[in-house]
Amino acid sequence: MSTDIRITDSHCHLDFPDFDEERDAVIARAVASGVQRMVTICTKLRQEPQVRAIAEKFAPVFYAAGTHPMSAASEPLVTVDQLVKLAEHPKFVGIGETGLDYHYTAESAEVQKTSLRVHIEAARRTGLPLIIHARDADDDMARILSEEYRNGDYTCVMHCFSSSAALARAALDLGFYLSMSGIAAFPKSQALRDIFASAPVDRILLETDAPYLAPPPHRGRRNEPAYTLHTGQKGAEVFGMDWPEFAAQTEANFERLFTKAVL
């Protein structure tokens, strides 16, 4: 990759133990590959100090925090005030990830919905983007996002988007963004690529969700931020753009949404 092309991994989990033995090297490889920024995501607020410490140590790393929907029933319910307070940190750039996951944790649907609405209000108050995880909950997700938007606008990215065309359209109609992960580069993901291709290119972000979902040629192995490149190059194909042009577009999109993530 030409080092004059810069991209951002808008969603990864650098605090996970998968990186404990070589976190410095992982971040260095990302920078060497052109990934100039990484947003590492805290999924349980009790782990926020560790995630914050990574962002404070490494200049290219920013962070966000919230309660993942799969943990909504097992963790204390987050408050708006807690999230607003965290947002005072200069490297805290987003609210979440939050959302709905009925694939693994449908039994906690009601507390997930409550938690989601708390995060939305925090995004509204802080002006920071909401980071949404959605799995097998498209109807409720579209309904809640739309209901809450009518109560007051906010910004949002549908992280690791792999849901239906209907949810994509609902999110885009609200002015939200869709993020491409390694799933979009999998050979059998043509239907998902078609959804992305129908979206405005100025509403697309790139991410790894590392350590999960490594794109080809690393599929089946631990993912890391350097591999954002492979998803990005597949995204350029999807939109029929040259790689440098698509990379520059996704950077502009990221900076428009994540306004605090300034190097």
Annotated binding residues for a divalent metal cation, as ranges? Answer: 11, 13, 97, 133, 159, 209
Neighbours of 206 (CB within 10 A): 26
Strand arrangement of the beta sheet that strand 204-206 belongs to = 7-12, 35-42, 61-65, 92-101, 130-135, 156-158, 177-180, 204-206
Binding positions: 11, 13, 97, 133, 159, 209
Note every long-range contact of 81-86, with CB atoms under 8 Å and residues 24 or more positions apart, other chains counting. Answer: 82/45, 83/118, 83/119, 83/122, 83/126, 84/122, 84/125, 84/126, 86/48
In one-letter notation, the amino acid at residue 127 is G
Q: Give yes or no for a contact between 180 and 235, defined as CB atoms under 8 angstroms apart.
A: yes
